[in-house]
Amino acid sequence: MEAVGTLPNASGNGSHTGSPPHSPAATGLILLAVLAVLLATLVGNVLVVAAISTSRALRAPQNLFLVSLASADILVAILILPFSLANEVMGYWYFGSLWCSLYLALDVLLCTASIGHLCAISLDRYWAVTRAARLNLRRSPGRVKGMIGAVWAAATLVALPPLFKARPRARECELSDETWYVLASCVASFFAPCLVMVTVYCRIYRVTTRRSAAILAARRGSAPRPGEA
């Protein structure tokens, strides 16, 4: 790790005066807000993991998605948020070029994994609605773990370029701004999973609406009419 004293006096926001980027009041508000989010993220997700791990009623295979998603969010709270907060408050990157590359890669990895888990959960919900009988037979812990592994593998592929394309400069830590990577990472990490989720949940809504209408019509048809014996 590079010693901070050897770095030029330049801040990450472009200022060369070395002065803090925010006023004391703004810094205090930022600290309170981010620390509140960090604490809520840690406590909430640890409780999710603990509940699923200790309750037999919650040990269904599909809840492994929630355990893996909560684990990714816990790692974000531990490995990403504190350093992002320090960088924002101090106005420059303090932690050296090696951790900068790892930090950026982990940031992309964990955020991509989180939205990938949401995408996998939406697909699992869709199959549960449309193929309930077959899914109950095939939904084994091994199958769910395979889907989780695929999510983490895809997230890792998206996160590898920051290890080699990061631009750790003096007191700055930024992702590569090469057009191909910006477009590819945005599509893989956000737009494609969001498109899948929106499409899947729209189909779930259509299926459940049709089934509800069919059930309501069947009940009306089987209800005794006035005057019938």
21-68 pLDDT, tens per residue?
778 888 888 889 989 999 999 999 999 999 999 988 888 888 999 999
pLDDT of residue 4: 38
Euclidean distance between CA atoms 109 and 104, whole angstroms = 9
172-213 pLDDT, tens per residue?
888 777 788 888 888 888 899 999 999 999 999 998 898 888
| Partners of 174 in beta bridges | 167
| Sheet strands (E) in the chain | 167-169, 172-174
Higher pLDDT among residues 42 and 221, named by residue: 42
97-145 pLDDT, tens per residue?
888 888 988 999 999 999 999 999 999 888 888 876 566 656 678 888 9
When the candidates are 1.10.4160.10, 1.20.1070.10, 1.10.1050.10, 3.40.640.10, the CATH number that belongs to 4-222 is 1.20.1070.10
Please report, for the chain, the start and end positions of each structural domain, with discontinuous segments joined by +: 4-222
pTM for the whole structure: 0.78
